[in-house]
Amino acid sequence: MKTMFITLAASLLMTASVNAQPKLTLQVDKAQRTVSPTFYGLMTEEINFSYEGGLYSQLLRDIAMQEMTGGQQGRRQQGGGARPSGSAPKPRYWLLSDSTAGTLRFNTTGGISFIQKRSLSIELTKAVSLENPGFWGIAVRPSTTYSGDAYFKGNGRITVGLRSTDGNTVFASQDLTLSSNDWRQYTFSLQTAADVKETKDAVFFIQFQNAGNYALAYPTLFPKAKKTYTVKSDWYRTDIMDLLREMRPTFLRFPGGNYLEGNTFKERFDWKRTIGPLATRPGHRSPWGYWSTDGMGLLEFLCWAEECGAEPILGVFAGYVLNGDYVEGDALEPFIKDALDEIEYTIGGPDTRWGARRVRDGHPEPFHLTYVEIGNEDFFDRSGSYSHRFMQFYDAIKAKYPQLQIISTQDERALRGNAENPAAVKVDVIDEHYYRNAEAMYRAAQQYDSYDRKGPKIFCGEWATREGSPTTNMNAALGDAAWMTCMERNSDIVVAHCYAPLFVNVNQGGMQWESDLIGYDALTSFGSPSYHAQCMFAQNLGDKVVPMLADGVPTVAMGRGEPVPQLYYNTTVDSRTGQLYLKVVNIGATAQQVTITVQGAKPKGKAEVITLKSARPEDTNSIDNPNNIIPQKSSMKVSGNFRLPLSPYSITVVKMWK
Ligand code: AHR
């Protein structure tokens, strides 16, 4: 397929001309290509503290009692000074306010169940507080209810609550009496007053009123959501979910990414261990180096999609893990069964085994599912086993669910090349991944124009312009927007696409992969310029692609290669309302006046103009300056022929009516 690209030099010859007035012609009467109804979407996995310390609103860190420290990174680093190094390993996120008051140790046996075997043993010589710093602090807001629960062993009075790191301000608390030498579950509710000042630096505390021996297992703390969309709304951080809704996603690709595969078979995303009550989920280590409680399990992913009006693109584990191990043939059958069960959980009726389980888990309605993806990035599997594994899954899924479209993670050539019977290989959709710098995005901005229309459809399941860290800058947004014009123009074959990674916790230690779309700390979140570019594109989309002619587009020198065009563009039209959405990206340092000619329609009245721009490409947004680069709205008079001014380093959407 890739051999069919027109060479870049050829495409530049068609568009470049020095010092001419750029002209763009919109051939509205020739709009034929249909924009895929699942075009803009989201991709997610547990990376960069996406859920733990991110979208998943559970506030306490290390509830599974897994994380040890040699003494370097205890509470003091999260909210004060450091403990001396070289001391014996200790629980990392569970700390005594006075370390001389007793000892803390993880027990690895005798937990609350055979699934949650671990607990915290607390031996106290005097009254003291146990503290948890959350994920780089706990956010406290006024007039908010925090619902918690925890398993304790021991007897005596305790107070649980939220307070400032210096312990001087208690934001909310509740007294409890512990009264059992065996595990017993206690629930509590912490209510902040209306005059509490918002902070991201609170800690959770358990004040033990007496010396004694206690144990703690699987505590959780959730703020109550202010808005409820689905049965799971309390599960998601409201501010981050609001940002996602703005992106108007039509799908959510989950659970990965590498998170689907895991480093080993034991660490794959094993969906059956991610449903049901939280404490029945064993959790597992993410390939990105930290513990996942699986509080964001299959149902929470599905409801997340529903929460933003999207459908799932379900990635099913395909028998290959990141250390290179794989299974095929008969050994793959249990994994195929797992995938079929997972689909049944997603779309099955109450009369099916797993559909009934979903109903019991609180979601009676089946979800809408179009695409299932087999594995993730199996082009890394050097054994060549993917073609066999893929076909085993493909045949089994199609036999039971012929309506589903199956996504392959290897291209057709590789699949057929490794197959015993190449003619038997069937591919509906191919998932392509592109992580590039801005220059590479510009150079690739004609990539899909020459893809074979008779071949499989394309899902660009991970892409990003990698400029800026932790979140991307304006330079990245320009590369992204150029790339999106290419995908939109070809959205008859590019049926869906999504940026990755979606999230990053911007605190030190939160990021494993830079150039992310949305950043946050415990309290607030913000969109990068790339985020805003995507919102602008997704919010302004028709259902047909309008062919465009270009003339006099200047070029800009870039890197060591040929110059690249300064402008990138695409138009779509809404065939029901007649609205036209023209998008133009100016990647250069010079302003441009573009003559727009509309053929086959007469735009009238005032057009709405939305612009994202910055003085320098390296400008960006951050927690401290979240709105440095955000879309600006204006209007202008348009006709069949008009001049569109473009600022340097800008992305412009013109919404006009024909
Ligand atoms: O997006 C980060 C990683 O990049 C994904 O987990 C993986 O699929 C890709 O290599």
Structure token pair of residue 600: 């086959």
Tell me the sheet residues that pair with 162. Answer: 172, 204
CA distance 200 to 623: 12
Per-residue pLDDT at 9: 33
Q: Side chain identity at 379, as an amino acid letter?
A: F
Per-residue pLDDT at 276: 97
Ligand 1: which atom is nearest the Cα of residue 43?
Answer: 1
Tell me the sheet residues that pair with 568. Answer: 585
Q: What is the biggest distance separating any 2 CA atoms in the chain, rounded to whole angstroms?
A: 85
User: Cβ atoms within 10 A of the Cβ of 589, count?
Assistant: 12
236-241 long-range contacts (CB < 8 A, ≥24 apart) are: 236/55, 236/56, 236/57, 236/304, 236/307, 237/54, 237/55, 237/56, 237/57, 237/520, 237/525, 239/520, 239/524, 239/525, 240/54, 240/55, 240/503, 240/518, 240/520, 240/525, 241/55, 241/304, 241/307, 241/308
Please tell me the residue having the least CA distance from ligand 1 atom 7.
Answer: 257
Low-confidence ranges of the chain (pLDDT < 50): 1-18, 71-84
- Please choose, from the candidates 46, 539, 544, the residue with its C-alpha nearest in 3D space to the C-alpha of residue 248: 539
CA of 502 to the centre of ligand 1 (A): 11
CA of 417 to the centre of ligand 1 (A): 25
- Residue 381, CA distances (Å) to 253, 257, 287, 511, 594 in order: 21, 14, 17, 26, 48
CA of 500 to the centre of ligand 1 (A): 7
Please tell me the residue having the least CA distance from ligand 1 atom 8.
Answer: 257
Per-residue pLDDT at 27: 98
CA distance 547 to 8: 20
Tell me the sheet residues that pair with 236. Answer: 56
H/E stretch holding 107 reads: strand 102-107
Spatial contact of 466 and 437, defined as CB atoms under 8 Å apart: yes
Ligand 1: which atom is nearest the Cα of residue 377?
Answer: 8
CA of 501 to the centre of ligand 1 (A): 7
Per-residue pLDDT at 658: 77
Structure token pair of residue 607: 């057009």
- What pTM, to 2 d.p., does this model score? 0.94
- Residue 444, CA distances (Å) to 331, 480, 483 in order: 40, 11, 7
Tell me the sheet residues that pair with 596. Answer: 24, 642
- Please choose, from the candidates 352, 342, 410, the residue with its C-alpha nearest in 3D space to the C-alpha of residue 382: 410
CA of 318 to the centre of ligand 1 (A): 16
In this structure, what are the phi and psi dihedrals at residue 120, rounded to the nearest 5 degrees?
-105, 120
Please tell me the residue having the least CA distance from ligand 1 atom 4.
Answer: 257
What is the 8-class DSSP label of residue 562? -
* Range list of H helices, 401-528: 412-418, 438-443, 474-489
CA of 377 to the centre of ligand 1 (A): 8
Query: Which protein residues are within 6 Å of ligand 1, measured from CB?
Result: 45, 47, 256-258, 376-377, 462, 500-501, 513
Per-residue pLDDT at 84: 47
Ligand 1: which atom is nearest the Cα of residue 259?
Answer: 6
- Residue 316, CA distances (Å) to 304, 423, 473, 491 in order: 18, 24, 33, 25
Per-residue pLDDT at 1: 32
With vertex at residue 555, the alpha carbon angle to CA 554 and CA 557, rounded to the nearest 5 degrees, is: 150
